Structure 1
């Protein structure tokens, strides 16, 4: 049976971005399981003892199944491999990452992948993205997953949504990778032939 995940950042004893995690968690429970009761994740998380950046992993279906904690180290990402998959679907953050893992295995010597679906740039294997057009940061309007940090950045107008087609990607200067554990600006790459590599098709 497939379960669902909230990956939540704890730092200096504080749960970050809690309201957005609560919203996605309860929306998933309602849409997939018909659960109408509101559950506050804060009631299940022990944040006070974690001062370094820590990943809190909440696994759930109708109810919370498990809560675990792991120290988090920022990954080193210097280049991305472009991969194409028009069938991939990861609308809900689930434990079933088989399709994403298959695409990740195609990365060759790149550090991660950038997934293109139906001609549109989406996400990496574990991050949402935003691209700098010289004036503002734009994020794909159709990501694989609407991440909690993405929703927070949209809400405060740090980024804006746009359909980003593959053929337009080199009109941007920079790309940022971010998720619940990676703050906006911590991973940033210049866009050139060295950072975007290897166009590979999973299916057409």
Structure 2
């Protein structure tokens, strides 16, 4: 089984690298495998990609690093989300096999992505954790599928709080922000809750 770590490179510098390395360690430890040695310069993009924001995609497995790719980053445009239910979905590690997420993504209809609900509680979109705002406060569901590195960072900094968020309570919030290693709260990839389709 292969896993992926997506790392934001800003002006040639990897962001929140310690969070990514920790998640790689935890993923491999869950399989009883040690962390492979990371070569110096592994996360250094080629000369033509050392300015601006670059997406670094690391593919690894229990035997070691399988490949590293770099690409200029352009965020997806998200205008609406479709609520989809799946009480059986499990995605605790950032696996290269995203087939279960893609099956749900295909149910988005005219929306740009899906907001996955499990057992009546909000989890994630097909590619991000979510943060909800209400009266200037920020919350993230404690029923996430994948414990994202940006989510961990924002919780550690006290910028967001984790709490249960039932789908029935969704419209008591103002907006839903999408966060992941490439997207922060200030990037404003967010939509009003009235653009979330049930």
TM bin (shorter chain)? over 0.9
Residue aligning to 1:162: 163
Residue aligning to 1:176: 177
Measured in 1, the distance between the counterparts of 2:40 and 2:21 equals: 9
Normalising by structure 1, report the TM-score: 0.90
Residue aligning to 2:53: 53
Residue aligning to 2:42: 44
Normalising by structure 2, report the TM-score: 0.93
Whether contact under 8 Å (1:57, 1:69) holds in the other structure is yes
5 Å-filtered alignment, 1:1-204, equals 2-35=1-34, 37=35, 39-40=37-38, 43-47=41-45, 49=47, 50-62=50-62, 63-186=64-187, 187-192=189-194, 195-197=195-197, 199=198
Give 1:11 shift: 1.2
Give 1:48 shift: 7.0
Whether contact under 8 Å (2:13, 2:44) holds in the other structure is no
Q: 1:66 to 1:117 in 2, by over 3 A?
A: same
Q: Please list every run of at least 4 consecutive aligned residues from structure 1 whose deviation after the TM superposition is greater than 3 angstroms.
A: 37-43
Paired residues in the alignment total: 194
Whether contact under 8 Å (1:15, 1:47) holds in the other structure is no
Measured in 2, the distance between the counterparts of 1:102 and 1:139 equals: 24
Measured in 1, the distance between the counterparts of 2:70 and 2:157 equals: 29
Give 1:40 shift: 4.7
